[in-house]
Amino acid sequence: MLLDYRVLEREYLLAISRALTAELDLGDVLRIIVRAAVELVSGQAGIIALTDPVDEKFRVAAVYGIPPEHIRHFEPLLRGLPYREGAEHEAVPELTRQMTELALEADLGLTQAIRLPMLSGDSVVGMIYVFQSGSYRFRSDAASLLRNFADQAAIAVKNARLYEAVIAEKQRLDAILEQSADGVMILDAHLQITVFNKALSRMTGWRAQDAIGRTHDEVFRWARLETEMDLDLALANGWPLPHAAPLYVEGLLRRPDGSPVSLGITYAPLMDSNNRMTDIIANVRDLTRYREEQELQKTFISVVSHELKTPVSIIKGYAGTLRRDEAEWPPEVLNEYLAVIEEEADRLTDLIDQLLEASRLQSGTFQLETGDVWLPELVHNVTRKFSSQTDIHTFRVQFPDSFPIIQGDERRLTQVLNNLISNAIKYSPDGGEIVVTGSVQREHVLLSVSDPGIGIPEHQKDRIFQKFSRLDNALSRRTEGTGLGLYLTKAIVEAHDGRIWFGENENGRPGTTFTFCLPRDERSQEED
């Protein structure tokens, strides 16, 4: 039978280029190539080995006609036989020697080999080997017939590597965008959102799948704008000019659930070579914390200056009156005025102590001085003090008979009681009974203060323990206070490994009950 090798070769090459364009993976394409190469020259088996881009060693990438368990016998072939352009004949004796060795080891009956480098530009990306068995000989033009196959294989490898590199780079960029701590969004030329990362979902409350495909304005509806322009206005005013600076927009946004978030967005245009904008990349920062800090600073300054000024001006007023030369003050008036001065000085000291305490908490230098504490005694001291300051409030204090001694910081716990009871008084403007109740549990003692006051609205519940937070009601405005009391109270209780919470009064009486628990001494638990 006469074979027209050229027809056969053309058929094989056609099959290979079909495989190449059909987006098969590299392994599949190489397997097709090695098989076609072997069949074309009536060989017995074949191998394609590729150079590893990292360590430049040859590795087997596809085989034909060799059982998998024998592949390792071909390793010596791949080692130490460098290809040199134009000097292939020099390799022949060594190749023949290796083949003999291989035939002994693997018993595959392979006797002869041709190898061809796969060249991409100047570099060798791999080698094709075709083997012959028994006493068969390759045709003399076998090597030149195979040349085309080696070239095709080189193209396939090159394409596959480029494709892999592009995919890897895209995945890397996607991951960077997705994981970025800043919000990142990409808009197309029609201001449609095409990328919306995780951080941005967290900030805006929009899920990526809901935001992508919408226009910018559907997602970013500003409730208030801090900068002069938003994106629309800037675009209407001709932004971006060629080489334009990015646009910065800051404002308050409503999340889908209605909650506010302060955002700062930097829009950077991407221009094509005709200076047309193709995309906008937007970097988004959550400024809520920063704004809150700013607000807090403002509150701090106004609250503190007000709270400091009041006692100072009272002291100054009384002292000035007492000093007037023309006046002779009867001793009881003198006493009364001096008492006021003393009281106001105490208030100043308290306030300064609170501020110091708050700053210690912030700087982490807050430390308890613990010792034996018997809460019923502290409560009696505090209520006795407050009883003398109010005519419209009464106190009921109830403790079980054997209330245990606990370990705690007496001065700080007194501060806790002071604040809870002064709040109970301040925020019960119509007077009434304030009930302080102690109770004992297995591992904790509980103490609660109930007042018949104005209560705390549900939506303010989260704010109450924050620094300088005073609820905005007529009463807060009329009464004095820095809004530090509950912040410190909570910190002190938690420093004792306790907890504090509050709720409405039991059995529906109007007013509020604050309760805190503190861990019991292990010794007192054993006595139970």
Query: Which residues are at the interface with ligand ATP (CB under 6 A)?
Result: 419, 423-424, 427, 451, 453-456, 464, 469-471, 476, 481-487, 512
Least distance (Å) from ligand ATP to the CB of residue 470? 3
Instruction: Tell the residue number behind the tokens 């007037």, with chain if given.
Output: 324
* Partner whose footprint covers residue 46, from ligand ATP, Mg ion, none (CB < 5 to 8 Å by kind): none
Task: Look at the chain and count its residues.
Answer: 528
Smallest distance from ligand ATP to CB 347, Å: 10
Q: DSSP for 312-334, please give it.
A: HHHHHHHHHHHH-TT----HHHH
- Asked whether the beta carbons of 250 and 227 are under 8 A apart, the reply is yes
Q: With respect to ligand ATP, which residue has the nearer C-beta, 230 or 451?
A: 451
Report the number of secondary-structure helices (H) and strands (E) in the chain: 16, 17
CB of residue 426 vs Mg ion: minimum separation in angstroms?
Answer: 7
CB of residue 502 to ligand ATP, shortest distance in Å: 8
Nearer to ligand ATP, 408 or 453 (CB): 453
- Positions of E strands within 288-405: 371-373, 393-398
The entry of ligand ATP, Mg ion, none near residue 267 (CB within 5 to 8 angstroms by kind) is none
Q: What is the 3-state secondary structure (H, E, C) of 505-528?
A: CHHHCCCEEEEEEEECCHHHHHHC
Using CB under 5 A, which of the segments 63-71, 212-220, 361-369, 418-426 binds Mg ion?
A: 418-426
Name which of 455 and 519 has its Cβ closer to ligand ATP: 455
Distance CA 447, CA 424 (A): 14
Supply the minimum distance, in Å, between the C-beta of residue 466 and Mg ion: 13
Output the DSSP codes for 199-213: HHHHHH---HHHHTT
Q: Which stretch binds Mg ion (CB under 5 A): 212-220, 422-430, 451-459, 515-523?
A: 422-430
Residue 493 burial by Cβ neighbours in a 10 Å radius (0-12, 13-18, 19+) = buried
Our CB check for Mg ion shows the closer of 479 and 505 to be: 479
Q: How far is the CB of 386 from Mg ion (least distance, A)?
A: 13
* Cβ closest to Mg ion, residue 111 vs residue 423: 423
Strand ordering across the sheet containing 193-196: 193-196, 183-188, 277-286, 260-271, 247-254, 222-225
Residues near 103 by Cβ (< 8 Å), separated by ≥ 6? 109, 110, 111
Helix/strand/coil for 490: helix
Q: Give the C-alpha separation, 211 to 189, whole Å.
A: 16
450 binds Mg ion per the rule CB under 5 A: no
Of 236 and 474, nearer to ligand ATP (C-beta) is 474
Which of 423, 428, 512, 513 touches Mg ion by CB under 5 A? 423
Write the interaction track for Mg ion spanning residues 461-500; mark x where CB under 5 A is met and - where it is not: ------------------------x---------------
Q: What, of Mg ion, ligand ATP, none, does residue 451 touch, CB below 5 to 8 Å by kind?
A: ligand ATP
Q: For residue 207, what are the CA distances in angstroms to 23, 171, 204, 449? A: 34, 21, 9, 44
Q: Which is nearer to Mg ion, 40 or 434 (CB)?
A: 434
Q: Are 19 and 12 in contact (CB under 8 A)?
A: no
Cα distance between the two ends of the chain: 107
Nearest residue to ligand ATP on Cβ basis: 485
Angle between helices 485-495 and 331-363 (to 10 degrees): 60
Question: Least distance (Å) from ligand ATP to the CB of residue 510?
Answer: 10
For the packed helices 410-426 and 485-495, what is the interaxial angle rounded to 10 degrees? 140
- From the number of C-beta atoms within 10 Å of its C-beta (0-12, 13-18, 19+), residue 53 rates as exposed
Q: Which range binds Mg ion by CB under 5 A, 144-152, 296-304, 419-427, 462-470?
A: 419-427
Q: Which is nearer to ligand ATP, 432 or 485 (CB)?
A: 485
Question: Six-digit token pair at 39?
Answer: 């069949």
490's contact among ligand ATP, Mg ion, none, with CB below 5 to 8 A by partner kind, is: none
Nearest approach, Cβ of residue 427 and Mg ion (Å): 9
Q: Which partner, Mg ion, ligand ATP, none, binds residue 448 by CB below 5 to 8 Å per kind?
A: none
Minimum distance of ligand ATP from residue 359's CB (angstroms): 14
Contacts with Mg ion by CB under 5 A lie at 419, 423, 485
